[in-house]
Amino acid sequence: MLTELWNDAEGGFHPASAPDFLPRTALQEVQLRRLRAVVARAYQNVELFRSRMDERGLTPASIQSLQDIQHLPFTVKTDLRDTYPFGLFASPMSDVVRLHASSGTTGKPIVVAYTREDVEVWSEVMARTFASCGLHRGDILQNAFGYGLFTGGLGAHYGGETLGATVIPISGGNTDRQIMLIRDFNVTALCCTPSYFTHMIERARELGIDLRDLSLRIGIFGAEPWTDGMRHHIEAEAGIKAYDIYGLSEIIGPGVASECSAQDGLHVFEDHFYPEIIDPDTGEALPDGEEGELVLTTLSKKAMPMIRYRTRDITRLITEPCSCGRTIRRMRRVGRRSDDMFIIRGVNVFPSQVEAALMAVEGTLPHYQIILTRAGGLDRIAVEVEVTPEVFSDKIRGLEDIRARLAQSIERILGIRVDLRLVEPRTIARSEGKAKRVIDRRNEG
Amino acid sequence: MKLQQLSLFLENRPGRLEAPLAAIAAEGINILTLSLADTAQFGILRLIVRDWEKAKRILEQAGWVVNLTEVVAVDVLDRPGGLAGALRILEDANLNVEYMYAFSLRRDDKAILIFRFEDPDRAIQVLLDQGLHVVDGDELMTFVS
């Protein structure tokens, strides 16, 4: 049956997608069996997990039901730094076939490991991701996620091949060549960060190429938060369907959750990654449907299991059935990452709020950057916004008007005054990976 | 009867004016006239060039945001009261000038006024009715070459 659906070009299914459609009770049986195994594995092989469980008087046998997961201690990002490089591995190096690492911009990088089985699971969940976004055998997938230590490139690569798509391993960067290959190779699907794709749209326009005229039909975007407004912009300007995917290296890389044809929340591949939502302040588990911090437990990871890993991502779980038929639960797209939040004059600000304010005025998202400075003990926030053809006027009054409207829109949402500066196109650095939206110079000099 | 004017957004900091002008100069495009409007933070460079389509393409490919606006050129005698006379006609017709700039010709004792109107077609009708000479693009080129 699934194979038949798979042969239907529009089906969005793949044999690997079968667990997406398990009855809930069958899924929970799989989850509990795997949870008990992974907790035992972590307890036996990783000093940090064992000592924390011992402190609480817990043993692997304490896990009798899925609810018992709430007794287990959390794992946080600093645990990965503190045990750098290999302290959280549960497999001997002879079983580890791959290492990835974060860029480590804020100190020590974090290292993650995969056994051959882990790579297979990763390939499977990425194939399920692509199937969920409507890709199938015969699609030509341009993979513009960065290859290398970053998990995005290789994760998408293996998933695309497992799906049976034709993968072009172009990696990030060299935008003119990206556009040339989309055109010359009749690329039908592309994955990268949403900010890099908006840059591609902009560059294609400069080169006189309308992406809507090409065969590209699907974009798979992840690795940074983006908004629905950005999705509408991308879909209209490139003539594609744009899907949000979610993942993080600490858990596996991309492939933790993915949107489906409904574009209404991301299905978490729950048979491998167990999601919980907690109150970020108290650590208490919250009921389904409430907004809080996403906590994930890897149910099948071998080389580096994660028990109740705090993602810092704010979202909520949706339990209502999805129109696509998948039974695995969905999470709301992550609009804000508590890591991205900055505090200015006592106000918590997320870049996505600034984004929404800019979008409300311009209709599309301009390139922007938030710059925080400190002068005379007072924090200042400046927002630089590149002028676009849509808002540019030959009249000073027209530009002063747009500047004032952008500033007011941000001030209405944040409740603080901002210094809004219009800047020339292409003066804000473009990222070929994750966009850097906030520059904090408050502790410089 | 209308002229195509190119406008560019520039940040108000040293060196920003030179770059676009150098870009079109490199392609052999000569500027008939220009004006620069500025605020403390940014400015708008407005250009009248012969091959505006080519200039627009060059500037856009180099990354500038270029706006195309229709403006109206009028020639008046280059002597005291030449501009004032034209402005009086516009004022009597209740036509608002968004902005204007002017340059004098090297011959014929003439000055050219470039006007930006909200409604250029109505402005042209008024100017013609009052006996002023509206200069179209081709004619302007003969004046300056």
The reported pLDDT for the residue numbered A1 is 41
In terms of domains, do B12 and B34 share one?
yes
Which alpha helices (DSSP H) does A166-305 contain, by range? 175-184, 194-206, 228-238
CB contact under 8 A, A424 and B66: no
What single-letter DSSP state applies at residue B30? P
Residue A97: which of A250, A302, A253 has the closest Cα?
A: A302
In the structure encoding, which two tokens stand for residue A127, read together? 């194939």
pLDDT at B137 over 90: no
* Cβ-based neighbour number of residue A138 at 10 Å: 10
Domain final residue pick, B69, B85, B106: B69
For residue A137, the distance in angstroms to the closest alpha carbon of chain B comes to 37
* Domains: count for chain B: 2
More confident residue, B88 or A9: B88
pLDDT of amino acid A4: 44
The residue of chain A nearest to residue B10, with distances taken between CA atoms, is A424
Mean per-residue pLDDT, B18-37: 92
**Is B103 found in the same domain as B78?**
yes
A8 in reach of chain B (CB within 8 A) = no
Consecutive H or E run containing A55:
helix A47-55
* CA A42 to the chain's CA centroid: 26
Alpha helices in A92-193 (DSSP H): 116-132, 151-163, 175-184
Residue keyed to tokens 């150098």: B22
Assembly ipTM = 0.84
Kindly state whether residues B108 and B58 are assigned to the same domain.
no
Query: CB distance B9–A424 less than 8 Å?
Result: yes
Sheet containing A253-258: which strands, arranged edge to edge?
Answer: A166-168, A140-143, A189-192, A218-221, A241-248, A253-258, A266-268, A330-331, A317-318
State whether B65 and B26 are in the same domain.
Answer: yes
Mean pLDDT within B64-93: 92
Q: Which residues of B touch A396 (CB under 8 A)?
A: 37-39, 44
Strands A292-298 and A336-337: unpaired
Place of tokens 């627009």: B56
- Rounded to whole angstroms, the Cα distance separating B4 from A443 reads 49
- For the domain spanning A7-23+112-337, the CATH number is 3.40.50.12780
Q: Do domains A7-23+112-337 and A342-440 have the same CATH topology?
A: no
pLDDT tens digits in sequence order for chain A, 445 residues long = 444 444 444 445 688 899 999 999 999 999 999 999 999 999 999 999 999 999 999 999 999 999 999 999 999 988 998 999 999 999 999 999 999 997 654 567 889 999 999 999 999 999 999 999 999 999 999 999 999 998 999 999 999 999 999 999 999 889 999 999 999 999 999 999 888 898 899 889 889 999 999 999 999 999 877 888 889 999 999 999 999 999 999 999 999 999 999 999 999 999 999 999 999 889 999 998 999 999 999 999 999 999 999 998 999 999 999 999 999 999 999 876 666 778 887 777 888 888 888 988 887 778 899 999 988 778 889 999 999 888 898 999 999 999 999 999 999 888 888 999 999 988 888 877 777 888 988 877 5
Distance separating alpha carbons of residues A50 and A34, to the nearest angstrom? 18
Q: Could you give the angle at the alpha carbon of A235 between the alpha carbons of A233 and A236, nearest 5°?
A: 65
pLDDT at residue B144 greater than cutoff 80: no
pLDDT (average), residues B45-69:
93
DSSP labels, A339-355: TT-EEETTEEE-HHHHH
- Same-domain status, B10 and B56: yes
Residues B20 and B40 in one domain: yes
Nearest to A311 by CA among A247, A254, A258: A247
Strand partners, A148: none
Nearest to A220 by CA among A266, A181, A179, A180: A266
Alpha helices in B1-145 (DSSP H): 18-25, 52-61, 82-92, 120-129, 137-144
Contact B44 A426 (CB under 8 A): no
Both tokens of residue A45?
A: 């092989």
In a mutational test of the B interface, the residue from A203, A424, A426, A427 whose CB has the highest number of chain B CBs within 10 Å is A424
Rounded to an integer, what distance in angstroms lies between the CA atom of residue A114 and that of residue A121?
Answer: 10
Q: Is A70 on the interface with B (CB under 8 A)?
A: no
The secondary element (H helix, E strand) that includes residue B70 is strand B66-77
CATH code, domain carrying B59: 3.30.2130.10
Looking at the structure, tell me whether residues B17 and B64 fall in a common domain. Answer: yes
User: Looking at CA atoms only, how far is residue A230 from chain B in angstroms?
Assistant: 21
Quote the minimal CA–CA distance from B141 to chain A in Å: 23
The DSSP letter of residue A77 is H
One domain for residues B59 and B14: yes
Query: Which residue, B48, B69, B90, sits at the end of a domain?
Result: B69
Domain boundaries, chain A: 7-23+112-337, 342-440
Strands A309-315 and A292-298: antiparallel
Instruction: Give A285: exposed, middle or buried? Use CB within 10 Å, 0-12, 13-18, 19+.
Output: middle
CA angle (A273, A47, A285) in 5-degree steps:
40
**What does R_g of chain A's alpha carbons equal in angstroms?**
22
Residues in contact with B14: Cβ distance below 8 Å, sequence separation at least 6, in sequence order: none
Range of the domain at B104: 72-144
pLDDT at A359: 87
Q: Which CATH superfamily is domain A342-440 in?
A: ANL, C-terminal domain (3.30.300.30)
> Domain of B106: which CATH number?
3.30.70.260
pLDDT score, position A2:
46
End-to-end CA distance of chain B: 19
CA angle in degrees (0–180, nearest 5) for A123-A126-A132? 140
Among chain A residues, the shortest Cα distance to B59 is held by A206
Partner-chain contact A396 B37, CB within 8 Å? yes
Cα separation of A425 and A375, whole Å? 28
CA–CA dist A422, A358 (Å, integer): 12
- Which tokens belong to A96? 């580890």
- B40, pLDDT greater than 90: no
Which residue bears the tokens 């050219």? B112
Phi, psi of A126 (to 5 degrees): -75, -35
Angle between helices A47-55 and A24-45 (to 10 degrees): 100
Q: How high is the pLDDT of residue A412?
A: 87
**Of B63, B69, B98, which is closest to A426 when you measure between CB atoms?**
B63
Residue A392: list chain B partners with CB under 8 A: 7, 9, 65, 67
Instruction: Give B23 to chain A, closest Cα distance, Å.
Output: 16
- Cβ distance of B61 and A206 shorter than 8 Å: yes
- pLDDT tens for B94-130 read 998 999 999 887 777 889 999 999 999 999 999 999 9
Beta bridge partners of A337: A313
Domain end, chosen from B25, B41, B69, is at: B69
